[in-house]
């Protein structure tokens, strides 16, 4: 099949995606990793973020992209103008472009407003981008990652942390919806944004599902969600309501598979062979995430299965600890919000010790910073660490209480705003006594 050149601009990407959606050559926004043939019908080849190892290339069909974008518009109340603030090399940014193309087909004027590909995200830059998008009263949708929202709120609360925060927050509150995905959203961050009038929609999905396919815990039209036992075959059945298991996703937005890796494709994408009526032959993608389905069918994602830390023989979930830290640390440190990342570091006594690295401005004021792996980490003093450990232990048990907490200015990221846990773990291990 003819290959489309790697797009150099957003306008070029728009044109190529339009042709690909209509049956033309597949688009690859980054240089291809594999030269092999693509599955029939492939419209987009997108790299995973590589958070589990070497990045893979995912083949998405035009039908999958259209199904995802159409279901998104249906959930949000109809097509609107899309504002691109995310890299158009990852699935979240690419889907903003796809949705804008379908919105244009539906008659939305100027359906895409995009930042320059090399533009640095700042609250002031977002405010400037949103101003013309909101000018004529058309519905406006924007996709962000939690780190971006955190910076907007921090700048609005304290102009010293960066200009433009109030303007960006006011503009976000005028948007029809603000999709937030790519990483877990701390409850205090969500509450603060909601209180400011921002209509946040939490999204869950990945490259293999053409982006977000579960919004606020509820699958989009056509999407399917189930939770299955860890390590069990697909036909073993779901876990009970309220029980923890591995999240599996299905529906017309699933990718065809991984390019050049038939083994990984067969392992991750499976046809259901259960005897349940209507289930046999249904295709599912097994994620690496742990989750719980409530009695109302709403999905709660607990974090990656391979992020679980075994300390003293007890399994602890970093995401649960991070939620507590995001709640208790701001008041303790006198800041508006924090970004915590909890990892396990090798420890002679515990096997792995639970350690938290927390991003906030001015971290070095709380201790003597150590430059570890290019990052300044300041250990939280003991008089502040003790109440933090007590709060976590009260909620989650003593094993979950972090042995050390380090403060820093920023967390390393991978892909479109995902915290690079492996880099955090390396830095924390180097600093851990």
Phi first, then psi, for residue 364 (nearest 5°) are -65, -15
CATH code where residue 112 lies: 3.40.50.12780
Q: What is the distance between the alpha carbons of residues 203 and 182, in angstroms, rounded to a whole number?
A: 8
Residues 317, 202 share a domain: no
Say what the pLDDT of residue 281 is: 64
Residue 369 lies in a domain: yes
Q: What is the distance between the alpha carbons of residues 242 and 397, in angstroms, rounded to a whole number?
A: 19
Burial of 262 (C-beta count, 10 Å sphere; 0-12/13-18/19+): exposed
Residues 314, 178 share a domain: no
Residue 107 lies in a domain: yes
Say what the pLDDT of residue 166 is: 80
Q: Looking at residue 27, what DSSP letter applies?
A: B
Residues 167, 49 share a domain: yes
Say what the pLDDT of residue 273 is: 62
CB contact set of 130 (below 8 Å; sequence gap of 6+):
83, 113, 140, 142, 168, 171, 172, 174, 175
Residue 397 lies in a domain: yes
pLDDT profile of the chain (433 residues), mean per 10 = 75 96 94 87 88 80 98 97 93 96 97 88 92 95 90 80 75 97 84 94 96 97 93 61 88 96 93 58 89 92 86 88 92 87 90 92 46 70 93 93 93 78 90 80
Residues 324, 190 share a domain: no
Say what the pLDDT of residue 52 is: 52
Nearest partner of 39 among 53, 60, 55, judged by Cα? 60
CA atoms within 13 A on the CB side of 144: 28
Residue 247 lies in a domain: no
Q: What is the distance between the alpha carbons of residues 294 and 239, in angstroms, rounded to a whole number?
A: 11
CB contact set of 216 (below 8 Å; sequence gap of 6+):
201, 202, 298
Residue 138 lies in a domain: yes
Residue 189 lies in a domain: yes
Last residue of a domain, one of 206, 241, 270: 206
pTM of the model: 0.82
Q: In a 3-state reduction of DSSP, which class is residue 63?
A: helix
Residue 367 lies in a domain: yes
Q: What is the distance between the alpha carbons of residues 108 and 77, in angstroms, rounded to a whole number?
A: 14
CA atoms within 13 A on the CB side of 187: 11
Residues 317, 199 share a domain: no
Q: What is the distance between the alpha carbons of residues 161 and 139, in angstroms, rounded to a whole number?
A: 30
| Residue 359 domain boundaries | 308-431
Q: Is 103 left (phi over 0), alpha (psi -120 to 50) or beta?
A: alpha
Q: What is the distance between the alpha carbons of residues 303 and 343, in angstroms, rounded to a whole number?
A: 12
Last residue of a domain, one of 206, 232, 250: 206
Q: What is the distance between the alpha carbons of residues 116 and 55, in angstroms, rounded to a whole number?
A: 25
Residue 277 lies in a domain: no
Residues 168, 20 share a domain: yes
Q: At what angle do helices 146-157 and 165-174 cross, to 10 degrees?
A: 120
Nearest partner of 284 among 237, 213, 224, 222, judged by Cα? 224
Residues 195, 314 share a domain: no
CATH code where residue 415 lies: 3.30.300.30
Q: What is the distance between the alpha carbons of residues 167 and 173, in angstroms, rounded to a whole number?
A: 10
Sheet harboring 42-47: ordered strands across? 42-47, 57-61, 257-258
Last residue of a domain, one of 182, 206, 230: 206
Q: What is the distance between the alpha carbons of residues 307 and 324, in angstroms, rounded to a whole number?
A: 17
Number of domains into which the chain is organized: 2
Say what the pLDDT of residue 274 is: 57
Say what the pLDDT of residue 162 is: 56
């Amino acid at each position: 099949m003819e290959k489309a050149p790697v797009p150099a601009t957003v306008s070029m990407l728009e044109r190529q995606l339009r042709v690909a959606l209509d049956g033309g050559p597949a688009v690859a926004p980054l240089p291809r990793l594999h030269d092999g043939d693509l599955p029939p019908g492939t419209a987009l080849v997108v790299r995973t973020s590589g958070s589990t190892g070497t990045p893979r290339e995912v083949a998405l069909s035009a039908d999958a992209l259209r199904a995802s974008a159409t279901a998104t518009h249906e959930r949000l109340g109809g097509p609107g103008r899309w504002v691109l603030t995310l890299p158009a090399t990852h699935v979240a940014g690419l889907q903003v472009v796809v949705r804008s193309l379908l919105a244009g087909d539906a008659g939305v004027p100027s359906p895409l407003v995009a930042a320059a590909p090399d533009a640095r995200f700042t609250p002031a830059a977002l405010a400037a981008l949103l101003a013309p998008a909101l000018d004529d009263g058309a519905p406006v949708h924007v996709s962000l990652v939690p780190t971006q929202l955190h910076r907007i709120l921090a700048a609005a609360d304290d102009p010293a942390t960066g200009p433009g925060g109030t303007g960006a927050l006011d503009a976000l509150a005028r948007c029809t919806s603000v999709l937030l995905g790519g990483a877990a959203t701390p409850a205090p961050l969500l509450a603060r944004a909601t209180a400011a009038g921002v209509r946040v929609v939490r999204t869950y999905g990945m490259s293999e599902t053409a982006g977000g396919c579960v919004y606020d815990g509820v699958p989009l039209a056509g999407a399917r969600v189930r939770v299955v036992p860890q390590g069990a075959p697909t036909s073993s059945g779901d876990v009970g309501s309220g029980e923890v298991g591995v999240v599996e996703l299905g529906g017309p937005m699933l990718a065809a598979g991984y390019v050049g890796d038939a083994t990984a494709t067969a392992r991750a994408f499976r046809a259901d062979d259960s005897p349940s009526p209507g289930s046999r032959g249904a295709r599912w993608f097994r994620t690496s995430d742990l989750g719980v389905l409530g009695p109302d069918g709403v999905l709660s994602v607990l974090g990656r299965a391979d992020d679980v830390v075994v300390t003293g023989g007890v399994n602890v979930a970093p995401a649960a600890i991070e939620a507590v830290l995001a709640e208790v640390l701001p008041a303790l440190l006198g800041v508006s919000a924090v970004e915590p990342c909890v990892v396990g570091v090798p420890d002679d006594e515990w096997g792995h010790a639970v350690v938290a690295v927390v991003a906030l401005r001015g971290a070095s004021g709380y201790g003597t910073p150590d430059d570890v792996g290019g990052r300044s980490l300041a250990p939280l003093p003991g008089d502040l660490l003790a109440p933090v450990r007590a709060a976590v232990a009260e909620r989650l048990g003593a094993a979950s209480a972090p042995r050390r907490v380090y403060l820093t200015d920023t967390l390393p990221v991978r892909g479109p705003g995902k915290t690079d846990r492996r880099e955090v773990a390396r830095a924390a291990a180097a600093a851990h006594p």
